[in-house]
Amino acid sequence: MSSQVKILAVETLLVDVPTIRPHRLSVATMNHQTLVLVRVETSDGLIGWGEGTTIGGLAYGEESPESIKVNIDTYIAPMLVGQDPSFPAMLMASVNGHIQGNRFAKCAIETALYDNQAKRLGLPLSELFGGRVRDSLPVAWTLASGDTAKDIAEAERVLELRRHNIFKLKIGLRSVKGDVAHVAAIKRALGDMASVRVDANQAWSVTEALEGMAMLADAGVDMVEQPITADDKAGLQRLTQANIIPIMADEALHGPRDAFVVASAQAADIFAIKINQSGGLRGAAEVAAIGKAANIALYGGTMLEGAVGTMASAQLFSTFHDLAWGTELFGPLLLTEEILREPLQYRDFALEIPRRPGLGIDLDEEKLARLRRDR
């Protein structure tokens, strides 16, 4: 099972890009995003790209951009250089057998390997995961300035542009009543023109969540994402079974094992599928399969990745037959710099998925060279 093709180099880039506005979460406020990009070069002249971007340094999870780069460069890259790139699943099995944890780093590597192999085969990456069933995905926009009037104006602007008609509000920094008042005002302003959802990013207690859920349901909000701490599966089960408003698990899903625990306990109505959080494309596909088997609805989540991680997610999500709650793949629109030669296409409230080989995107390596942190 070997060919003459070899992996010549695995390079990790940290690319710092300012955001168009402060992005306020309960765990951090982002004024820039650090894209963690992996470039796999092979002896047949192909380049595969992957991304392992996270949020807020170590505020969100146990991996930071800097740790992802160090661990790839020190431990994973030496395992891959000189190997045959034609068998990405076999290579990732070896990586997983030797490297514990490091879900974001592994996702970046796996994506780059599959992008490289899909290009070699002349196929879109989606076709390596069962084949796509759609060429575009509905995309939500997150309102996270924290200012009610600004959020309303922002929502109305993107509605007029026909870019988004689904809005998710980041909450958790105010009191429960203050959060609900903020959300309710935005829902009143938008009315039936848009779906409004909220993400508390684990900020509430179970008691606060029960109070907040009732008020949010009365305000016309469609869904609440991860209202309580990720490790409280019993609390999540209690909130879900209260049947007040649909509950989405996000940070509670660190791959297929967590998905099985949450599904077995009937502790969510919706799964947020994230390729980085799941440890890669294959892990995310397994999380989705567990959700589908348990009659849990699916939503395509984001770690606010740039174009590489966004399109990797889109390629995988396009293979899901049921994606009842749409996606949140707006990450590139939050950034002030474009890293592609041709930007991703957002129109008619959706992201279009190219049919070109691999990820179907063309990175501007000259622009990356100017933006990367070590230059």
Catalytic residues: 170
CB 95 within 8 A of CB 76: yes
Q: How many angstroms separate the Cα of 24 from the Cα of each of 29, 34, 182, 187, 300?
A: 4, 16, 14, 19, 21
Question: How does strand 29-42 pair with strand 346-347?
Answer: unpaired
Residue keyed to tokens 């502790």 = 267
Q: What is the DSSP letter of 130?
A: T
What tokens does 21 get?
């506005």
Q: How does DSSP assign 63-118, residue by residue? A: --HHHHHHHIIIIIHHHHTTS-TT-HHHHHHHHHHH--S-HHHHHHHHHHHHHHHH
Q: How does DSSP assign 208-272, residue by residue? A: HHHHHHHHHHHTT---EE--S-TT-HHHHHHHHHTTSS-EEESTT-SSHHHHHHHHHTT--SEEE
